[in-house]
Amino acid sequence: MNLSKITLRPFKLTDVDDLMIYAGDDQVTRHLRRKTLTSKDEALTFLKHVCNPHYHHWHRSICIDDRSIGYISALPGSGESMFKAEMSAGAAAEYWGQGVVTKAMKIAVDQLFKDFPHLVRLEGFVDVKNTACQRVMDKVGFRKEGLLRSHYFLKGRLGDYFIYSILATDFLPVSKL
């Protein structure tokens, strides 16, 4: 995998077929809060939502040659929590284990700290069973802060989650890597 081909961009309605490949795959959504998409209509509804300029959730498509192969998102806090945002990411199963999400996450963290100067902290909650995601967080430079026991009820199971964070002061911009 030539990781220099990985780019991030806002979603487009024309991503619908590519989106179905990963957001319609139970293997990908197993650890995600979102339900698996089951039809193209559902995928279009989702895209209309995230393409709306007033949508306050930062959502980007991970692309190779401008084709969407995954997503990365940051949910900003509001009020007294506006200095932090919670990140999530996923990619189509055929691209797993090739460094794709690690690269995308590094680009995203860099972009978020540049575009939103009020952001001090990015955080991620990772199921203890999701070893690949834990590895991504480590490789990007997130710090594992602790274990949250019985933290979240997801898809029929109450799970333990690691909490990870990266502060603006921890992060080396992509240009310096």
Residue pair 54/5 in contact (Cβ under 8 Å)? The answer is no
Closest CA to 60 of 126, 108, 125: 108
Strands 121-127 and 84-91: parallel
141 binds ligand COA (CB under 6 A): no
> What is the CA angle 108-158-35, rounded to 5?
55
Single out the segment in contact with ligand COA by CB under 6 A; choices: 13-21, 28-36, 38-46, 77-85.
Answer: 28-36
91 binds ligand COA (CB under 6 A): yes
Least distance to ligand COA, CB of residue 53, Å:
25
Total residues contacting ligand COA (rule CB under 6 A)? 22
Single out the segment in contact with ligand COA by CB under 6 A; choices: 3-11, 40-48, 72-80, 82-90.
Answer: 82-90
Q: For residue 4, give every residue at least 6 positions away whose Cβ sits within 8 Å of its Cβ, in sequence order, or none.
A: none
Is the CB of 3 or the CB of 13 nearer to ligand COA? 3
Is the CB of 54 or the CB of 157 nearer to ligand COA? 157
Q: Tokens 């293997």 map to which residue?
A: 27
Single out the segment in contact with ligand COA by CB under 6 A; choices: 6-14, 89-97, 107-115, 147-155.
Answer: 89-97
Cβ count within 10 A of residue 172:
11
Name the helix (H) or strand (E) containing 48: helix 40-51
Interface with ligand COA by CB under 6 A: which residues?
Answer: 28, 31-32, 88-91, 95-102, 124, 130-133, 135-136
